[in-house]
């Protein structure tokens, strides 16, 4: 692994919550209105039951994060396959692990995402020994889809959610460990 993963601190979380993506990617800006006005984004980033990690270059331990990685229920979409589970959680009962991630806005589009994904999978393989990796990605997000396919993920389904802002369509992807 080339990147350095450290458990999310409050300072890192506040930094990441202030990130602002542009154009169509602005939908990833926090807070996400689809999660409701009462949703506490800071608390979610700091909840170790579905842990989030700040990611940095190895030699830049004191610099702001270049990305984040999340594991478990915080990354689930739609609820299928997780009925009856108490949240937050890390692994589903079948041992599979749902992941989420993001590069800092100014670093996107520079072919840095694949290294982040691969290191995030390696980190989780070692730390959590999942049976399978899963992720959900907006169907329109061709840039992310390309990176995930390159990292070995394949599409296994479509998940639609309908918050007040309008329907959102996600591709569910999995990859063997
Ligand atoms: C998703 C993410 C990890 C992708 O990493 P990245 O380093 O930005 O992606 P890359 O620069 O490697 O681009 C991947 C591919 O998409 C292509 N691409 C870039 N912008 C594109 C666009 N708007 N439409 C279609 N393809 C696009 C690139 O040309 C590249 O293709 P190539 O490798 O065949 O040349 C990163 O952008 C990110 O974290 N973004 C945050 C917001 C987000 O989309 N989150 C997804 C959460 S599921």
pLDDT given for residue 26 in this prediction: 96
For the chain, which domains are there? 3-129 (3.40.630)
| Residue 131 C-beta-side C-alpha neighbours within 13 Å | 6
Q: In sequence order, which residues have a C-beta less than 8 Å from that of residue 88 and are 6 or more positions away?
A: 44, 47, 49, 50, 72, 73, 74
| φ/ψ (deg, to 5) at 92 | -70, 165
| φ/ψ (deg, to 5) at 124 | -70, -35
Q: pTM above 0.95?
A: yes
Measuring from each residue's beta carbon to the nearest atom of ligand 1, which residues come in under 6 Å? 21, 25, 28, 102-103, 108-114, 116, 137, 141-144, 146-147
Q: Read off the pLDDT of residues 46-82 as tens digits, 9 standing for 90 and up.
A: 999 999 999 999 999 999 999 999 999 999 999 888 9
Residue of 76, 144, 155 best suited for mutating to test ligand 1, as the one with most atoms within 8 Å of CB = 144
Selected residue with higher pLDDT from 80 and 24: 24
């Amino acid at each position: 692994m080339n990147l350095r993963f450290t458990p999310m601190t409050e300072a890192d979380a506040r930094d990441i919550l202030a990130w602002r993506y542009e154009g169509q990617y602005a939908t990833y800006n926090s807070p996400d209105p689809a999660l409701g006005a009462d949703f506490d984004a800071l608390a979610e980033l700091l909840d170790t039951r579905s842990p989030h990690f700040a990611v940095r270059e190895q030699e830049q331990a004191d610099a702001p994060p270049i990305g984040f990685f999340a594991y478990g229920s915080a990354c689930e979409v739609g609820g299928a396959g997780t009925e009856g589970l108490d949240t937050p959680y890390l692994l589903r009962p079948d041992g599979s692990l749902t992941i989420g991630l993001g590069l800092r806005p100014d670093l996107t589009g520079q072919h840095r995402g694949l290294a982040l994904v691969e290191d995030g999978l390696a980190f989780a393989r070692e730390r959590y020994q999942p049976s399978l990796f899963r992720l959900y990605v907006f169907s329109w997000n061709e840039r992310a889809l390309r990176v995930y396919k390159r990292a070995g993920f394949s599409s296994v389904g479509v998940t639609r959610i309908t918050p007040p802002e309008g329907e959102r369509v996600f591709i569910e992807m999995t990859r063997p460990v």
